[in-house]
Structure 1
Amino acid sequence: MAENTPPVIPESVRDTGLESGGPPKWKIVGPGLVVAATGVGAADMVATLVAGSRYGYALLWAVVLGVILKIVLVEGAGRYTLATGKTIFQGWRSLGKWTTWYFGPYIMIWGFVYGATAMSSAAMPLAALFPAVDLKIWAVLMGLAGFVMIWFGKYAFFEKITAVLVGIMFITVVGLAVIAAPNIPEMFTGFVPLIPEGGVVYTLALAGGVGGTITLAAYGYWLREKGWYTPKWMRVMRIDNSMAYVVTGIFVIAMLIVGAEVVRAAGISLSAGDAGLLDLGNVLNEKYGDVVGTGFLIGFWAASFSSIIGVWNGVSLMFADFWGNMRGKESGHADTRVGGKYFRFYVIWLTFPPMVLFLLDRPIALILAYGVLGSLFMPFLALTLLGLLNGKRIPKAWSNKLHTNIALGITAALFLALGINELIKALAPVLGLGS
């Protein structure tokens, strides 16, 4: 199949009349919500809770900034795909071989370590709810559940499941924020862009961590699976992307409220990583009763499991496109699509090899490589989008305007600063700079 040949239009899209240029219908909005849901995981929830417990509402403006930056990034990835008919990996290859040499090792190491992390994250709330079953067993079951859904399910099924999980996340977390009774006047002061003393790193992390890393680049692949593949879908894509990240912003603000009103009032320090959400669950049980505490754990699970199926689907599509190109097969070839052999290989890679990490101590060299490569991905995405969305690589009608270049430049600078900070943290033990 030639790279610009449109894919078979799904029945759900044919029914809307959009393939013939008919008016968009809200019921088909979806890939943006998938990106946002996949990107907001337990780590984002903990980071936001900690920021709220330490600084109250002072960093609310950083949450809003983070939402805007992610809208800019994802819109750029989607616009490149729709305007050129090419995938993001094809675009990266046009920038030089260095992109392939970076992306190839990255996606393999990232997938191996992330697979174990994601399964463990989704298992934690279930182990808290059903302690008779060991955490490792829950982790394996979560991996297998994600594997079966993605291996046998089509994109439309995957999107519907994600929408249900987003609904659970939204109801539980936003409902909790309402119960926590936010201090509205104090909240409004948080829209003033000030950095509290000692809060530089938290500010950067909050602005840069609202919803997604590698999955942002998967947006173009989900657009293709949805059946949106030409510039006439540009307006629908922009609405889809913006609405999804508005929902994400509301979700993250709700977590900030919980951190400011519940965690800070309780006077506790949350544990590092996903375990911090279990600490919050205990506080909620004591303060509001088991119904609220249990509801939050269900929301925690929904956030984590949506990341599993999102990555199992979206990043597998990215890998399939990468490997298909390496094997001389054009993007859009059956082997590179959902259910193709390259896609299925990576679904297996995400699910089964990482289970070994449940039985072993975390391998230092692998975690180090993961940290180094991972810290550089967001700067890589932002900077390469600047290259792809200007000049001859994109039709002039869809190239960046001045304000878009400024926004992407700010985004690239922010993620570069975050990446350097994470790089220093990853290399510090090796260089003897302390932990």
Structure 2
Amino acid sequence: MPKSLSLRSGLGSILFWSVISAAFIGPGTVTTCAMAGSRFGLDLLWALTFSTIGTILLQEAAARITIASGLSLGELITQLYGAKIRWLMSLLFGAVALGCAAYQAGNILGAVSGLALLTGSSTQFMTVLVGLVCILLLGRGSIRLIANVLGLIVFAMGAAFVYVALNSDSPAETVAKALVIPSLPSESLVLVIGLIGTTIVPYNLFLGSGLGQHQSLAEMRLGISLAVLIGGIISMSILIAGTLVTGDFSFQIVAQELSKRLGNWAGILFAFGLFAAGFTSCLTAPLAAAVTAKSLLGWSESSLAYRCVWLIVMVIGITFGLLGVKPVPIIILAQVANGLLLPIVTTFLLLAVNNKTILSVNYRNTWWQNIAMVIVVVVTAFLGIRNLWLAFQ
């Protein structure tokens, strides 16, 4: 008999699934959204509406598969297609791990940049401190503990950015129109791709699928929908806050402009938001790599290999953070890998969620879900091809 959805379980599910919001709201999201607002005002706000809805659709489908079959997305792909695509499982894991390791350095640098704006302390000391705290949390091995910590930080960060956005000069009617009316100003396509790509993240589908067990459909749907919606609102608030910034773009300039226009509190809230975005992503990137290994390669959470995955990702991030070097070549390779990974994963997900041999009719997609997912798959395929082209260039 399915579990009923109580207020307590509903709120707990929202907090638990906020790990997905924490995973896609990192320094890259802060930078992309703020830059979009700075350069194009509210014109690109619709891209965040599309990507938020797309993320809810894909994450719900991935978690629904796990609830219905007891298998994660990676395990289901392996069962459906057998050992013939074992090489593809290894390739997918390698692509995800490469992306997580490459961007982990940016996550740590983003968290440290926020702390530097707040405290002015030594960046090397703060890099080590952030890294050790993340290792301790990941070492506890409790995904629910990590999810709850991330949820609290994401909600605090969201309050900071929403507060800044509400104190901007953007009229509510103008914001409402920008949310639903697509616009492509000249030279804005790259940022549109960035806004969608920074929200619909391929490794989050494996992360969400791996977390989806032991919940009812009602709990899962409420938790994912509201948690991702909150993440989308945070991203939108960052973009609106970015409209207050003109001219050159850097974290310091954003903090200074917000302080000058709204008061010192705004710059402090931005610095805290940047730290929170970096810190949450510092936890979720290694966790996503490890959960993907568990899903695709069958490693258990208690195995040494599973722990080595997240530990290696953490060490790479800390090392680049201490060196103060942005791993540009690795990031370019990660863009190529993610460009291939995103449409492949979304296509597998669409096929799996309609499979009659694995899922009963109550768990398969409805016609409108299929239409919506096909639209998302087509757009993500375009994103993948475009990202590949940009990376090669």
- Establish whether TM, by shorter chain, passes 0.5: yes
Residue 401 of structure 1: which of 366, 370, 374 is its match? 366
2:227 is the counterpart of 1:252: no
CA distance in 1, matches of 2:329, 2:45: 37
Residue equivalent to 1:287: 261
CA distance in 1, matches of 2:230, 2:328: 37
Residue equivalent to 2:340: 376
Matched ranges for 1:41-60 at <5 A: 41-60=26-45
Residue 243 of structure 1: which of 202, 226, 248 is its match? 226
Q: Which secondary structure state, in structure 2, belongs to the residue aligned with residue 376 of structure 1?
A: helix
Residue 283 of structure 2: which of 297, 309, 314 is its match? 309
Q: Which secondary structure state, in structure 2, belongs to the residue aligned with residue 210 of structure 1?
A: coil
Residue equivalent to 1:104: 93
* 29-38 or 211-220, which deviates more: 211-220
Residue equivalent to 1:300: 274
Matched ranges for 1:89-128 at <5 A: 89-93=74-78, 94-95=80-81, 96-128=85-117
For residues 406-425 of structure 1, give each alpha carbon's deviation from its aligned partner in whole angstroms, at most 9, with x where no partner exists: 21111111111111121112
Residue equivalent to 2:248: 269
Contact 2:105 2:318 in 1 (8 A): yes
For residues 136-164 of structure 1, give each alpha carbon's deviation from its aligned partner in whole angstroms, at most 9, with x where no partner exists: 33223212111101102523321221122
Residue 158 of structure 1: which of 116, 133, 146 is its match? 146
Rg (Cα) greater in structure:
1
Residue equivalent to 1:342: 305
Q: Which runs of 5+ in 1 are unaligned?
A: 1-18, 271-275, 326-334, 429-435
Matched ranges for 1:413-432 at <5 A: 413-428=378-393
Letter in 2 for 1:32: W
Residue equivalent to 1:140: 128
For residues 384-404 of structure 1, give each alpha carbon's deviation from its aligned partner in whole angstroms, at most 9, with x where no partner exists: 111211233433331222221
Residue 129 of structure 1: which of 118, 126, 133 is its match? 118
CA distance in 2, matches of 1:121, 1:220: 27
Matched ranges for 1:130-209 at <5 A: 130-133=119-122, 135-152=123-140, 154-190=142-178, 191-209=180-198
**Cα deviation, residue 427, structure 1:** 1.5
* 311-320 or 48-57, which deviates more: 311-320
Residue equivalent to 1:330: none
CA distance in 1, matches of 2:235, 2:317: 29
Contact 1:125 1:278 in 2 (8 A): no
Residue equivalent to 1:76: 61
**Identity %, equivalent residues:** 21
Q: What is the CA RMSD across the aligned residues, in angstroms?
A: 2.3
CA 1:219–1:364: 2 relative to 1, 3 Å: closer
CA 1:353–1:198: 2 relative to 1, 3 Å: closer
**Cα deviation, residue 174, structure 1:** 0.4
For residues 170-219 of structure 1, give each alpha carbon's deviation from its aligned partner in whole angstroms, at most 9, with x where no partner exists: 11100111122422232233122232233333333323433644123211
**Cα deviation, residue 35, structure 1:** 0.7
Across the two proteins, how many residue pairs are aligned to each other?
A: 383
Residue equivalent to 1:13: none
**Cα deviation, residue 281, structure 1:** 0.9
Larger relative contact order, structure 1 or 2 (CA cutoff 8 Å, min sep 6): 2
Contact 1:40 1:211 in 2 (8 A): no
Contact 1:107 1:319 in 2 (8 A): no
CA distance in 2, matches of 1:350, 1:58: 36
